[in-house]
Chain A
């Protein structure tokens, strides 16, 4: 197996990981930045590496280019066989990294909830369709309903519209009172207001309904229409696609595999982003959904601390507190309504990998019981999709991660070292 050594290993090259790697190098440590995508940027800065249109992205990606950080992309973390040891799988086979400290910057994923018709072709995650469309999936001229919850809906709708889609409706499940409170809360962070205003400008003329949610997607071979509920009102809207996402949930598999303590579904960290496991730091969405400002500032702090120079992040500490307020605000006003728990019927698929129906899962007493009795969450995605849904639907905690963290070639378990290595990153 190929091997690499590094002082600080940064897992994930989104904003938090980039900030961590660049900051660690500035603080005097050697950093290795690894991501499963082909280039740095993560979900939010997808496509910005070669053509930055966002000023913050441009600044940080330039800083990464100018920094001696070694980047390795297209590598998926599959195992953490021992402390300080990480095994990745990629197109060139497995790679083992030995490091002294690690920063987890694994981001977040969309929460998808089951409802009748959600597995029809043409139904996407809101962020998922945004990514597909940015990568060339044709949306021009398509009628798209955007639904779910959170600020991501506006970003997804604006981005789909700019690519030529016709946004039929944005259905936000939160009520208008929460939305108004969320909006006025942003007044304390002026650049968020500017951002929001920018999004709204791109969405002029698009119907936006609060307190509304999709109860059903209809169609034979693909989605043709959706049923939207608002209070007692029920309307059917024709569409070519549905983009639906119920906010973001932290990716915690790596942290859990390393034994890091979690609180409320997010990785617990101290003021230096240090987790409960010595030498392991976490930055960004993994510590709780807070958006890009939180990711960048936490990345800076984590990078400095992992380099042994936490004091260099003193100014970042002040900005960190501001980002915490925004994160709390987000949590408070985009809580999911109870009605969403009763959308799925007993025959609605809950776990797509193993084809487990909602009714079969409901009869179980815990995630573990459901895994054993129905194989829910035992398939290819390893509960990355249905796990977050079950957490909301049934209050089930996540199952203990088992190796590999993602499906991996059997060669990833070969401990023998190839002759040319280990080598120092250059």
Chain B
């Protein structure tokens, strides 16, 4: 069988990033086809916590995440209730004086991006979150951060795209990427002058040499009888100390679900590409969480699962043209920040593709920064 169809833009991957791009480009009037081999939002999107958070590890990340969080806030009134968008805020927790000093530096950095935050003393922290352990130094409250349920948000974006004429094709994979077209698993061919690879960890399957590695994570959700928590709770050492290196790491990161359940994270490891739950890491995750939330000792686990973060060597996503092949664009490698930055990614990619004014500096995300590796591969 060899049927040929043609569109302006073909998007490979129906995670939240691919769906956001489909919505953005369909809204711009392009004919769009999104191809997803499984179900919408079924891979990293499904495994993620859905924490919409401004991160400030470097200026580029701060610009992308701050812009994206503002976009989610603007979109919030249109989202369906089942997307469970809430602005509960993030509470960054400091355990000691050094981390309190880091909280102050974080407050200053966030302020540079126009993000308000509030330093909390130990007493104020206990007042905000009475379930937290005694003896913590304080924290930083970022009230504008939010959370949502990513698979529903992704599917909603895809429906918005479809309402503006985009084709959304699930259950069919892309077998091969050729000049100006892709070959699908069903034998048909889809031609498009622009092909956007937004399939996260699967990008290297289509583009040999795409600099993406799988970084495994574990999550666990409790039943509804869990300690009461209001904010997303994250330890201040989250990126700096806990997840900064390339080794196996565990950091305290807890999210209250609207149901009263608690979602416990997070772990990071590179060495393991099997999707099975590793008992040792679940144990470490629980012990870490119990240090901050002692009430978890009597909580009940409902389910634990794993997922893979698409990770680049410099931990920044790849958004822009792929230098090795004309007409191919990348929107992948978002590691743990794909849900937060999906809307910003879509806007940045659309601006480049349509020749519009860029919403923020695109250079830090240009796939060309790995040009040496790429030219090698091409």
Which chain A residues have a beta carbon within 8 Å of chain B's beta carbons? 79, 81-82, 365-366, 368-369, 372-374, 378-380, 382, 402-404, 407-415
B223, A407: Cβ atoms closer than 8 Å: yes
Given contacts A378-B303, A409-B298, 17 further A-B contacts (CB under 8 A): A81-B279, A368-B39, A369-B40, A372-B42, A372-B46, A380-B302, A382-B303, A402-B277, A402-B303, A403-B304, A408-B300, A408-B301, A409-B299, A410-B301, A412-B301, A414-B283, A415-B283
B283, A413: Cβ atoms closer than 8 Å: yes
CB distance from B158 to the nearest CB of A (A): 11
Partner of B42, one of A82, A368, A402, A407: A368
CB distance from B328 to the nearest CB of A (A): 29
The 10 A-B residue pairs with the shortest CB-CB distance, nearest first, are A372-B151, A81-B279, A369-B39, A407-B300, A413-B282, A410-B286, A415-B283, A413-B283, A403-B304, A402-B305
Given A368-B42, A369-B39, A373-B155, A82 contacting B303 (CB threshold 8 A): no
Residues of A within 8 A of B287 (CB): 414
B280, A415: Cβ atoms closer than 8 Å: yes
CB distance from A95 to the nearest CB of B (A): 15
A366, B301: Cβ atoms closer than 8 Å: no
Residues of A within 8 A of B39 (CB): 365-366, 368-369, 372
How many angstroms between the C-alpha atoms of A410 and B283 in the bound complex? 9
B297 at the interface (CB under 8 A from A): yes
B66 at the interface (CB under 8 A from A): no
Instruction: Encode contact with A along B145-165: 1 for CB under 8 Å, 0 otherwise.
Output: 000000110010000000000
CB distance from A238 to the nearest CB of B (A): 37
Interface residues in B, total, Cβ within 8 A? 32
Closest to B300 in A: A407
Partner of B301, one of A82, A368, A369, A409: A409
Residues of A within 8 A of B301 (CB): 404, 407-410, 412-413
How many angstroms between the C-alpha atoms of A414 and B41 in the bound complex? 32
Closest to B154 in A: A372
B280, A407: Cβ atoms closer than 8 Å: no
A409, B46: Cβ atoms closer than 8 Å: no
B296 at the interface (CB under 8 A from A): yes
Q: Which residues of chain B from 283 to 330 have a CB within 8 Å of any chain A CB? A: 283, 286-287, 290, 296-305
Given A368-B42, A380-B223, A410 contacting B296 (CB threshold 8 A): yes
Given A369-B39, A372-B151, A402-B305, A410 contacting B279 (CB threshold 8 A): no
A373, B303: Cβ atoms closer than 8 Å: no
Closest to A87 in B: B279
How many angstroms between the C-alpha atoms of A379 and B296 in the bound complex? 19
B114 at the interface (CB under 8 A from A): no
B170 at the interface (CB under 8 A from A): yes
Residues of B within 8 A of A372 (CB): 39-42, 46, 151-152
Residues of A within 8 A of B296 (CB): 410
How many angstroms between the C-alpha atoms of A372 and B277 in the bound complex? 19
B77 at the interface (CB under 8 A from A): no
Chain A to chain B contacts (Cβ below 8 Å), 29 pairs: A79-B279, A369-B40, A369-B42, A372-B39, A372-B40, A372-B41, A372-B46, A372-B151, A372-B152, A373-B151, A373-B155, A378-B303, A380-B223, A380-B302, A402-B304, A402-B305, A403-B304, A404-B303, A404-B304, A407-B300, A407-B301, A409-B301, A410-B222, A410-B300, A410-B301, A413-B279, A413-B283, A415-B280, A415-B283
Residues of A within 8 A of B279 (CB): 79, 81-82, 413, 415
Residues of A within 8 A of B151 (CB): 372-373
B355 at the interface (CB under 8 A from A): no
Q: Which of B170, B222, B282, B287 counts the most chain A CB atoms within 10 A?
A: B282
How many angstroms between the C-alpha atoms of A412 and B299 in the bound complex? 11
Residues of A within 8 A of B46 (CB): 372
Partner of B302, one of A81, A366, A407, A415: A407
Closest to A360 in B: B82
Residues of A within 8 A of B280 (CB): 415
Closest to A354 in B: B259
Residues of A within 8 A of B40 (CB): 369, 372
Q: Which of A382, A408, A410 counts the most chain B CB atoms within 10 A?
A: A410
CB distance from B99 to the nearest CB of A (A): 25
B171, A365: Cβ atoms closer than 8 Å: yes
Residues of A within 8 A of B223 (CB): 380, 407
How many angstroms between the C-alpha atoms of A409 and B283 in the bound complex? 12
Closest to A372 in B: B151
Residues of A within 8 A of B277 (CB): 402-403
How many angstroms between the C-alpha atoms of A413 and B218 in the bound complex? 13
How many angstroms between the C-alpha atoms of A414 and B288 in the bound complex? 12
How many angstroms between the C-alpha atoms of A382 and B170 in the bound complex? 26
CB distance from A385 to the nearest CB of B (A): 15
How many angstroms between the C-alpha atoms of A81 and B280 in the bound complex? 9
How many angstroms between the C-alpha atoms of A411 and B46 in the bound complex? 26
How many angstroms between the C-alpha atoms of A332 and B313 in the bound complex? 59
Residues of A within 8 A of B305 (CB): 402
B41, A413: Cβ atoms closer than 8 Å: no
Closest to A80 in B: B279
Closest to B277 in A: A403
Residues of B within 8 A of A407 (CB): 223, 300-302
CB distance from A267 to the nearest CB of B (A): 20
CB distance from B174 to the nearest CB of A (A): 19
Q: Which of B41, B286, B302 counts the most chain A CB atoms within 10 A?
A: B302
How many angstroms between the C-alpha atoms of A379 and B222 in the bound complex? 10
Instruction: Encode contact with A along B29-52: 1 for CB under 8 Å, 0 otherwise.
Output: 000000000111110001000000
CB distance from A372 to the nearest CB of B (A): 4
Residues of B within 8 A of A411 (CB): 297
CB distance from A367 to the nearest CB of B (A): 10
